[in-house]
């Protein structure tokens, strides 16, 4: 093996080591994704408030005698379950913001560098094409998660006022009772006005749930589908083909 190939292999090994030891920790550092994480945490706080509001209101209504408020209580309890799923999706998104960079620079880029080393040492030039595809996929993964968060945040901002209004409505929601005896006043019966307020809160809660499903679930899912399609195209199409003379030109320099 001539010294030019040895230099290329040494360069690839150095790049792999730097990617794993220097770039990967920085890419995974939450401090470098502060804005995206803050936006996700704001959504998490809103979902937790709405989920807790739905569960608390459902529990309060279930304590009332009779079956008049049972349908409302059941619907609110069901909504609380959906908000829990959205909360899980948001936490996954928060973890992926930092994890995607670590996966790219701790695994995919070093693997691509190793493939180039094998290609140079063994003369298997097809591995250079594979290495280029692996590196490209790693960079796509690194950028696509923050891009997904940014896109979700832009869509969410258009409907954020609806979610905030629902939270304010819950904070001002007062389930008042009406009883002649005055004993356990709030748990004896419920006024028509309070039922109307709870119904309005339920309607707004449904709209907020729809907003959260779109921004926290559907958009990231579509981005993931796009990523899978892109990876399939990259590996199936004849792209990133390195001419056999290109490697000789590089080593010649």
Question: Measured in Å, how far apart are the chain's first and last C-alpha atoms?
Answer: 16
pLDDT tens, 102-120? 999 999 999 999 999 988 8
- Does 116 fall in a domain? yes
Domain count, the chain: 1
- Does 103 fall in a domain? yes
Q: How far apart are CA 33 and CA 93, in angstroms?
A: 12
Half-sphere exposure of 178 (CA within 13 A, CB side): 6
Show the domain range for 237.
Answer: 3-171+187-252
Tell me the average pLDDT across 174-178.
57
Specify whether the CB–CB gap between 116 and 131 falls below 8 A: yes
pLDDT band at 249, cuts 50/70/90?
Answer: low
Which residues make Cβ contacts (< 8 Å) with residue 148, sequence separation at least 6?
Answer: 93, 219, 220, 223
- Does 182 fall in a domain? no
Q: Around Cβ 94, how many Cβ atoms within 10 Å?
A: 20
- Coil, helix or strand for 133? helix
- Does 177 fall in a domain? no
Residue 157: predicted pLDDT: 87
- Does 152 fall in a domain? yes
- Does 62 fall in a domain? yes
- Does 141 fall in a domain? yes
Q: pTM for the whole thing?
A: 0.74
pLDDT tens, 29-77? 888 888 888 888 988 998 998 888 888 888 877 776 666 667 778 888 8
Half-sphere exposure of 98 (CA within 13 A, CB side): 16
- Does 18 fall in a domain? yes
């Amino acid at each position: 093996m001539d010294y030019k190939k040895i230099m290329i292999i040494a360069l690839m090994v150095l790049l792999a080591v730097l990617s794993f030891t220097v770039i990967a920790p920085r890419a995974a550092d939450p401090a470098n994704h502060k804005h995206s994480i803050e936006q996700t945490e704001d959504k998490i706080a809103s979902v937790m408030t709405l989920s807790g509001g739905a569960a608390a209101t459902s529990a309060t209504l279930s304590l009332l005698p009779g079956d008049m408020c049972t349908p409302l209580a059941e619907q609110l309890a069901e909504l609380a379950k959906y908000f829990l799923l959205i909360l899980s999706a948001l936490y996954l998104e928060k973890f992926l913001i930092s994890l995607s960079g670590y996966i790219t620079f701790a695994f995919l880029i070093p693997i691509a560098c190793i493939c180039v080393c094998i290609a140079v040492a063994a003369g298997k030039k097809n591995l250079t094409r594979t290495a280029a595809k692996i590196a490209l996929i790693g960079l796509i993964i690194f950028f696509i998660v923050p891009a997904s968060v940014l896109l979700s945040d832009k869509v969410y901002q258009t409907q954020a006022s609806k979610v905030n209004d629902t939270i304010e409505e819950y904070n001002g929601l007062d389930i008042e009772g009406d009883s002649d005896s005055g004993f356990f006043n709030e748990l004896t019966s419920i006024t028509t006005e309070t039922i109307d307020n709870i119904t309005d809160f339920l309607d707004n809660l449904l709209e907020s749930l729809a907003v959260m499903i779109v921004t926290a679930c559907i958009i990231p899912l579509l981005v993931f589908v796009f990523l899978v399609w892109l990876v399939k195209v990259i590996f199936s199409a004849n792209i990133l083909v390195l001419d056999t003379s290109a490697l000789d030109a590089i080593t010649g320099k």
